[in-house]
């Protein structure tokens, strides 16, 4: 019986495109909700800045909420335009390190049930 799941390790270096075929970048990491075990966002590097609308100089790449992923195969296709989906990742570009995902560097997230999916772009 075929499986409809993909191990997150298989997503590393997968190219990401918008639904209209514009290149967004490559997957460097998958951000996971440790409570539910579900994927919440893809961290991308090698970002096509013309597709995402430019990046702050301190951004290491972008993150794309997983709910905006339309399909996963040889490439990943997004449901919406990259300018709407991509959010800057903290860290310096091109420093060879994975994006900084240490929760201690961020403000505390809202308590469960306090924010809707529209208010939190990662969920």
pLDDT, tens digit, 9 for 90 and up, residues 67-100: 899 999 999 999 877 777 778 887 655 544 444 4
Q: What does residue 104 show for φ and ψ, rounded to 5 degrees?
A: -70, -15
In a domain, 16, yes or no: yes
- Residue 104: pLDDT above 70? no
H, E, C per residue of the chain: CCCCCCCHHHHCCCEEECCCCCEEEEEEEEEECCCCCCEEEEEEECCCHHHHCCCCCCEEEEEEEHHHEEEECCCEEECCCHHHHCEEEECCCCCCCCCCCCHHHCCCCCCCCCCCCCCCCCC
In a domain, 54, yes or no: yes
- Residue 107: pLDDT above 90? no
**Under 8 Å between Cβ of 81 and 46:** no
In a domain, 29, yes or no: yes
User: Which residue segment(s) compose the domain that 21 sits in?
Assistant: 8-90
- Residue 3: pLDDT above 60? no
Torsion 98-95-122-114 (CA) sign: positive
Q: What is the CATH number of the domain that holds 44?
A: 2.30.30.240
Q: Return the pLDDT at 85.
A: 73
Number of independent structural domains in the chain: 1
In a domain, 119, yes or no: no
**Bridge partners, residue 16, by sequence:** 25, 76
């Amino acid at each position: 019986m075929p499986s409809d799941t993909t191990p997150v390790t298989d997503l590393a270096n997968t190219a990401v495109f918008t639904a209209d075929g514009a290149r967004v970048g490559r997957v460097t990491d998958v951000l996971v909700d440790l409570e539910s075990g579900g994927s919440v966002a893809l961290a991308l590097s090698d970002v096509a800045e013309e597709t995402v609308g430019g990046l702050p100089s301190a951004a290491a790449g972008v993150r794309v909420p997983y709910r905006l992923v339309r399909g996963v195969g040889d490439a990943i296709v997004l449901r919406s335009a990259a300018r709407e989906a991509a959010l800057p990742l903290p860290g310096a570009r091109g420093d060879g390190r994975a994006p900084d995902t240490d929760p201690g560097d961020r403000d505390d997230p809202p308590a469960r049930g306090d924010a809707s999916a529209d208010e939190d772009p990662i969920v």
